[in-house]
Structure 1
Amino acid sequence: MVKNQIPHIFGRLLYGSRFHAIRQSRGQQGIGISAVVLYGQLTTGKHAKITSKVAPDRPAVVTELAIDTNKNRAEVISNSTNHWEKPMGTRFEISIIADYKRGKRFVYDYLQSTSIVNPHAQIIYKEPDGTDYTFERTSEILPRKSVEIKPHPYGVELGTLIKIAKNTKSRQLNSFLKTEFSSMGDRTTNATIKEAGLEKTLNPKNMTREQFLALHKAFKKVKIMAPSTDCLSPIGETLIKRSLKHETQEISPEFIITASRPSSVYSGNPFQVEVGLVYGGKLPKEEPVKIMRFANRVPLLYQQGGCVTTTAISSIDWRRYGLSQPSGKGIPTGPAIFLAHISSTQIPFTSESKEAIADVTEIENEVKLAFRECARKVQQHISKKVKRAKTREKFDLITRILPEIAKKSADMLNKPIPSLDKIITKIMDVVWIEDLIEYEKVSREPVQTTLIGNIPQEQKGGTITKSKIMIINYKRSPQKFNLYTIIPDDAVVGEVNPKPAKIANNYIKWCLDTIQPANKIDISFELAGLEKGDFDENDLYIENINPAFVIGADKWEGE
C-alpha cells in the first residue's frame, strides 16, 4: 500500500475502503485492523510497525504509528525506508496481551479455513514455540476482480437516496434514475415515477423529503430486474474441491462434492452461494458434522447457532441422504464436513462483530438448494457404488463358474468349449458402464480457463485429464440411448471420441449408436485447464433407456 494511505488505514477507525462502493469486498466498516492497533496500544503501550513495498524496484517504507483517540487520527512516530527482500507486499507487526494458549486452536483453524477459500494464497504461520505451519496455495490464478456497480433501487436506503440526488448531475428525475441506479431502463423508470406520483421533469435536487419517500416506496412496488453480478468474485467449484482435498489429505475422505448456485438477489444486493461436502474417510461417525462457514472469503468461527447457514442445514432432512438426524431437524451426525461460502456486495451480518449471517429468506433458500444438490450427489454416489459392487460380484461369480462348467461339459462330450457371451448376457441382463480417469503432464503452457490471472514463469506446464468410458450391452436386445457426462465449468474440452452431439458449459452429450448384445462402445474425452485430481470421477447420466437396466449412470433429468 502507498505511503500516504498507511496512517489512514492503520490509524483511523471507520476509515472504510469500500464505503458506497457496490462490490464484493472483505472489508466493510474500516474497524478491523485499526482496532487491533488500538488494542495493542492500550494493552502494551507499544506502537504498531508497518512495512510496505509497492514494487520490486522501490524501497520499502517503514512506518511506526499510534492512534490519537481524541482526534481519531494516526500519530506517526517515525517514517523511514529500507531494503526488504520481498518483491512487494505489506508486513504488520503489533504486540498485544492475549491468552494465546486458550486461543491457539482458533488461530490455526482460522488460518486453515482462510487458506481453503483463498486457494491463490500461501499462508505461513509461526507459533511462539517455534512451530511452523505452511498452508500451501492450490492455485496460481488470482480471483476474478469484482467490478463496482451502481446501487440497485431495491437495496438503497432513504438517506442514501437523498444523498445521491443531492450530488447528481442529472437535472430531471427520469435521467437521474437511469444514470445513478442499476437495472433502470426506460420502462422501469417510467413505471417507478408513475407509481410515486411524480413528474419526469422534476429536478431531483429540488425534491422534498415526502417526494423522496414516495419514490423510495415506489421502488418496492415496481418489478425491477436483478443487478449485474460482475460485482461478485466467487471461488468456483473446482477450486473449492481442490482446496478441500488438499486440507483433508490426512482424513482420506471417500469423496468430496461441491455445488454452486446461480447468483441471486436479496433487497437489491447480489449474492451467490457455494457449498462443499467432504464425506467418509477418518471422519468421526458418531459426532455432529463439522460446519465451515464463510462470508466473502472470510471464515466465521463463532455464533454458529445464530447463522443462516446453520439454520438452512438444520432444516434439511438428512436422513434421506444417509446421515443420522433423530428428529429430521437439527445438525446431522455422521462422517462429513459441510462448507458454505456466501459472497455478496453486502453481507447481512447479525452484528458488528461479523460472526454470523442473519436469517435472510433468500439466502437461506439458496443455501438449502445448494446443500440438497450436494446431498443428491452423495446419495447417487453411494447408490451407484453399492449397485455396481453387487453387479460386479454377480459378474465375477458367473465368469468364474460358467467357464469351468463349460470346460468340463465339453471334455465329457468331447466337443469344443462354446462361447459364453450370449449366456452371460442373458444372466446379467444390464448395460454396464465402466470408466477410468488418467492424467498426463504436459510441458506446454496450460490452457487458460475462465479463471482470470497470470501464471508465473516457474509454473509453466499443465495437466491433461483423460477420461475413458466403456459401455457393454449385457441385455438380450440391442440398446440405443444418449449418454451425458458432467464436466467442470472452468474446464476446456479437448479431443472427444466419438463425436458428441453437444458440448455445453458443464456437460458433454453423445447420441450413441445401437449397441448389439454382448458388444461394447468406447468413449474418450480430454479436459484441459485443470489440475490433477480436480476431475476425479465421471458423473454419468443416461436418456432414452430405463435407468433400472443401467449400472454406472443415473437418469438424465434435463439441464
Structure 2
Amino acid sequence: MATPIAEELAKKQKEISVAEFFERNKQILGFDSLTRAVLTSVKEGVDNALDACEEADILPDIFVSIQKVEKTRDEYMIVIEDNGPGIVKDQIPPIFGKLLYGSRFYAIRQSRGQQGIGISAVVMYAQLTTGRPTKITSKISEDRPAYQADLIIDTKKNKPEILREDTLHWDKKSGTKIELIIHGRYVKEKRQSVFEYLRSTAIVNPHARIILIEPDNTKTVFERATEKMPKPTVEIKPHPEGTELGTILKMGRATESYKLLSFLVNEFSRVTTEKAREICARANVDEDMRPQDINREQANRLLNAFKLVKIMTPPTDCLSPIGETLVKKGLKKEMKADFIVTSTRPPSVYSGNPFQVEAGIVYGGELPKEENIQIMRFGNRVPLLYQQGGCVITHAIENIDWRRYGLEQRGGTGIPVGPAIVSVHVASTKIPFTSESKEAIADISEIQMEIQLAMRECARKMLSHLRKQQKLAKMKEKEEIIRKVLPLIAEKSADVLNKPVPPIAQVIAKIMNSIIIEDSIGYDEKSKTHKVKIEITNYTPHAKKIMLKAVVPSDAKIQNINPKPESTDHVITWDIKGIPSTEKRALEFEILGLDKDDYDENELYVDGIDPELLSGADAWDQEAFEEKSKMVEEPEETKENENKKPEKEEEE
C-alpha cells in the first residue's frame, strides 16, 4: 500500500527557534539594507544605555565610535560605551545572546525597549554577516574588576555561547561596553544617518551627553542641556479597558487570589471593591468563585461588563514626559531658529493604555523657505527615522490646514511648505508600532486627535508670535516715518502762515492710534538672573487705563518688581491707572534661578483694551488661560481606593 501524501508531508515539518526565524527574516528587525544595519546597531545599543542609566538614576555619558575595518569591504567596528550600572556576569550571556529575553515583558510603564530582541538581534546580525563574535565588557562596582566575554548565539537553540571570558582592570566606576563588527555602509549628511539619530536622541533626552566618533575621525559632542533626570516611571496594573478575553483567562490561572472579587481588585488598575462587585453583578458571575475556574463564557461576560461599568482611566505616573521647558531646551540646543514654541498635552488613554503627546515647532532662522517642513518623530524618547509616510504623526500633521497658520499648503492637506521643523513625541506604556522594527506608529484615532490638538496649539502660538512681531515692526516703521515727516510739515505750514510751530505730539498720537508694548530680557550668568524690562507707550489721543499681565514659569522666583503689582504668583499683574496720551510707562522685574534658555521670551497680555490698538502683546483671555493651566490630578480618595484591598478572604 502506498504511503499517504499527508504522512510524507508530515515528515518534512520541522520546528525552528525564534533566533532562526529572525536570522532568515532580519529585515523585520531593521537590517534590510547596509545603511540601516549600521543605524539599527547603534540605535539598539544607545537605547539600552539610556534605559540602564535612567533606571540607576545616573546622568548618561554615552560614547559611540564607528570605524571602517581595514582590508575589508563594508565592514565596520562599532563601539558603544556607557557609564550605567553595568550588568552582572550571569546576566550578560542571556541579555546579549538570547532573543526574547528581557526584564520588561510584563512591565506596564514607559520604556524604550520591551520585546527583549534589540541588542541580541545586533549580536546575531554581526555573527551572520561577518562571522565574528561580539565583545562585552561590564563593570558593576568601583571596587570590583571588570568582566569581559566574547559571545555568539546558537541560533538553533536560541542560546548564548561564550567563546572567551576574562576579568580585567577598567578605569571606570561602572558601565557597559559593546564592541562588534558588522557588514554595513556608513552615510553622512542624510536624515537617516547615525549623526541625525544621535542629534535627535539628544533633543528628546536633554539629560544625556553623547559623543560620536565617525569613520573619518570627526568628533561630535552632543552636550546635555540639563542636569535633571527624567521623572522615574511607576509600573501599573493592566486596565480593564485594554484587556482581552484570553488575557483574563491567563491572569485568572496565574493569580494568587482565592476569589473573583479580590482577583479583580488586586490584578487590575482602578478597580475598587465597589466597582468589582458591580462588574460581577453585570456579568452575572459569582464574586466568590475561584478565578482559576473562570471559563470562556464567563470571561466573555466579564469583558462585556468592563465596558458597561464606569472605571477611572489608568494612573499616569507610569509615563515620563519630557516637559515643555526641556523640549524647548533640547530643540534650541541643536537648532538655529528665530523662535521655538512647544506644547504638552495632558495624559490621555487608548484601549486602556495611557499616553501623552508633546510637540514643538522650530521656525525661521536658516531653515529653507521653499521646501516641505521637516517632521521629527519620536516614540518614548526614541527617534523614528524611517517609514514617515506610514506613521500617525505624519497623518495628523497632513490633515491640519496649515494655511491658517501662515504656511503654504496646496489644497489644505499634505505636508506644508515653509521655514519650519515640527517635532512630535508620543510617550506611552504601549506604543502601537506598525512592526517589530519600531519605525512608525499605527493610526489610532485617539493618538491622532491628541497630536493634532498639540500641533494646533503650537501653530497658534507661532501665528501669534509672527503677527505680534509683524504688527510691532509696522507700527515702529510708521512711527519713524511720522516723526520724520510731520515736523517738516509743521515747520513748513507755520512758515507759510507766519505762525509758531505747533506741538505735534497729539497729532502723532491721533495718526498712530495704538498702544505699543516693547520688552527686553537681559541675563546675568553669575547670579542666574533674568532682568526683564517692559515699556508701554500710549499713542492714542486719550489717557488709557491698562492692566498688563506677564506670565512667568510657575516654579520661578520673582523679585524686584517695579512698580508694585496688584498680584504676583506666576502671573504678574499691574493695574496702571492711567497713561496720558504720548507718554510712556516702564515696568521691571527679575527672575532668579533659571538657566538662560529657560526664559527667553516674555508672555505679555493686556486686559480691558481694544485688541486692535495693541502692538507687542496679546489680549487677555481668562478662560483660555485657566484651561491651559488646568492640572490633571488624581483625587486622594481614588488613590486610597486603588490601594484598598477587599475584605480578608477565608483560606481554603
Give the TM-score normalised by the residue count of structure 2.
0.77
Query: Structure 1 pair 174/496, CA: closer, same or farther in 2 (3 Å)?
Result: farther
Is 1:337 the counterpart of 2:424 in the alignment? no
Name the structure 1 match of 2:534: 469
Alignment of 1:127-526 (within 5 A): 127-249=214-336, 253-403=337-487, 420-442=504-526, 463-488=528-553, 491-502=556-567, 507-526=571-590
**What displacement does 1:129 show?**
2.4
Secondary structure, counterpart of 1:216 in structure 2: helix
**What displacement does 1:40 show?**
0.5
Name the structure 1 match of 2:107: 21
The one-letter code sitting in structure 2 at the alignment partner of 1:137 is: R
Q: Would you say the 8 A contact 1:490–1:529 is kept in 2?
A: no
The one-letter code sitting in structure 2 at the alignment partner of 1:556 is: W
Select 1:556's aligned residue among 600, 620, 623: 620
Q: Would you say the 8 A contact 2:87–2:176 is kept in 1?
A: no
Query: Structure 1 pair 472/14, CA: closer, same or farther in 2 (3 Å)?
Result: same
What per-residue deviation string (whole Å, max 9, x for no partner) do you get for residues 409-464 of structure 1? Answer: 88999999876544433332222111111111235xxxxxxxxxxxxxxxxxxx22
Select 2:176's aligned residue among 81, 85, 90: 90
Query: Structure 1 pair 119/480, CA: closer, same or farther in 2 (3 Å)?
Result: same
Q: Which moved more, 1:191-200 or 1:386-395?
A: 191-200
Query: Structure 1 pair 78/103, CA: closer, same or farther in 2 (3 Å)?
Result: farther
Q: Would you say the 8 A contact 1:238–1:490 is kept in 2?
A: no
What per-residue deviation string (whole Å, max 9, x for no partner) do you get for residues 516-551 of structure 1? Answer: 433433333333443213322212222222111111
- Distance (whole Å) between structure 1 residues aligned to residue 600 and residue 300 of structure 2: 56
The one-letter code sitting in structure 2 at the alignment partner of 1:466 is: K
- Distance (whole Å) between structure 2 residues aligned to residue 531 and residue 387 of structure 1: 30
Name the structure 1 match of 2:605: 541
- Distance (whole Å) between structure 1 residues aligned to residue 376 and residue 591 of structure 2: 30
Name the structure 2 match of 1:110: 197
Q: Would you say the 8 A contact 2:541–2:581 is kept in 1?
A: yes
- Distance (whole Å) between structure 2 residues aligned to residue 64 and residue 30 of structure 1: 20
Q: Which moved more, 1:37-46 or 1:468-477?
A: 468-477
- Distance (whole Å) between structure 2 residues aligned to residue 420 and residue 548 of structure 1: 23
What per-residue deviation string (whole Å, max 9, x for no partner) do you get for residues 473-504 of structure 1? Answer: 22233333433334345544455444555556
- Distance (whole Å) between structure 2 residues aligned to residue 16 and residue 490 of structure 1: 39
Name the structure 1 match of 2:32: none
Name the structure 1 match of 2:43: none
Q: Would you say the 8 A contact 2:554–2:569 is kept in 1?
A: no
**What displacement does 1:146 show?**
1.1
- Distance (whole Å) between structure 1 residues aligned to residue 143 and residue 564 of structure 2: 53
The one-letter code sitting in structure 2 at the alignment partner of 1:52 is: S
The one-letter code sitting in structure 2 at the alignment partner of 1:323 is: L
What per-residue deviation string (whole Å, max 9, x for no partner) do you get for residues 352-401 of structure 1? Answer: 11110000011000110111111111111111111111111121223334
Is 1:48 the counterpart of 2:112 in the alignment? no
What per-residue deviation string (whole Å, max 9, x for no partner) do you get for residues 183-221 of structure 1? Answer: 223443333223222233333233222212211222123
Secondary structure, counterpart of 1:109 in structure 2: helix
Query: Structure 1 pair 399/210, CA: closer, same or farther in 2 (3 Å)?
Result: same
Query: Structure 1 pair 329/482, CA: closer, same or farther in 2 (3 Å)?
Result: same
Select 2:206's aligned residue among 89, 100, 119: 119
Q: Would you say the 8 A contact 2:563–2:587 is kept in 1?
A: yes
Query: Structure 1 pair 248/519, CA: closer, same or farther in 2 (3 Å)?
Result: same
What per-residue deviation string (whole Å, max 9, x for no partner) do you get for residues 194-249 of structure 1? Answer: 32222333332332222122112221232221111111111111122122122123
Q: Would you say the 8 A contact 1:547–1:554 is kept in 2?
A: yes
Query: Structure 1 pair 13/554, CA: closer, same or farther in 2 (3 Å)?
Result: same
- Distance (whole Å) between structure 2 residues aligned to residue 529 and residue 492 of structure 1: 7
Q: Would you say the 8 A contact 1:238–1:488 is kept in 2?
A: no
- Distance (whole Å) between structure 1 residues aligned to residue 597 and residue 605 of structure 2: 21
- Distance (whole Å) between structure 1 residues aligned to residue 537 and residue 590 of structure 2: 21
Q: Would you say the 8 A contact 1:291–1:337 is kept in 2?
A: yes
Q: Which moved more, 1:415-424 or 1:188-197?
A: 415-424
Query: Structure 1 pair 285/413, CA: closer, same or farther in 2 (3 Å)?
Result: closer
Secondary structure, counterpart of 2:149 in structure 1: strand
The one-letter code sitting in structure 2 at the alignment partner of 1:195 is: R
- Distance (whole Å) between structure 1 residues aligned to residue 431 and residue 149 of structure 2: 33
Name the structure 2 match of 1:454: none
Q: Would you say the 8 A contact 2:233–2:317 is kept in 1?
A: yes
Secondary structure, counterpart of 1:367 in structure 2: helix
- Distance (whole Å) between structure 2 residues aligned to residue 532 and residue 65 of structure 1: 48
- Distance (whole Å) between structure 2 residues aligned to residue 347 and residue 237 of structure 1: 21
Secondary structure, counterpart of 2:242 in structure 1: coil
Query: Structure 1 pair 500/213, CA: closer, same or farther in 2 (3 Å)?
Result: farther
Q: Which moved more, 1:152-161 or 1:353-362?
A: 152-161
The one-letter code sitting in structure 2 at the alignment partner of 1:302 is: Y
- Distance (whole Å) between structure 2 residues aligned to residue 487 and residue 8 of structure 1: 50
Q: Which one has a bigger Cα radius of gyration?
A: 2
Percent identity of the aligned residues?
Answer: 54
Secondary structure, counterpart of 1:533 in structure 2: helix
Is 1:33 the counterpart of 2:98 in the alignment? no
- Distance (whole Å) between structure 1 residues aligned to residue 203 and residue 462 of structure 2: 21
Query: Structure 1 pair 83/503, CA: closer, same or farther in 2 (3 Å)?
Result: farther
The one-letter code sitting in structure 2 at the alignment partner of 1:32 is: G
- Distance (whole Å) between structure 1 residues aligned to residue 420 and residue 366 of structure 2: 10
- Distance (whole Å) between structure 1 residues aligned to residue 568 and residue 138 of structure 2: 48
CA RMSD of aligned residues (A): 2.5
Name the structure 2 match of 1:7: 93
Query: Structure 1 pair 65/501, CA: closer, same or farther in 2 (3 Å)?
Result: farther
**What displacement does 1:308 show?**
0.2
Query: Structure 1 pair 517/187, CA: closer, same or farther in 2 (3 Å)?
Result: farther
- Distance (whole Å) between structure 2 residues aligned to residue 66 and residue 360 of structure 1: 39
Q: Would you say the 8 A contact 2:123–2:134 is kept in 1?
A: yes
The one-letter code sitting in structure 1 at the alignment partner of 2:282 is: E
Secondary structure, counterpart of 1:79 in structure 2: strand
Query: Structure 1 pair 65/503, CA: closer, same or farther in 2 (3 Å)?
Result: farther
- Distance (whole Å) between structure 2 residues aligned to residue 147 and residue 529 of structure 1: 29
Q: Would you say the 8 A contact 2:545–2:578 is kept in 1?
A: yes
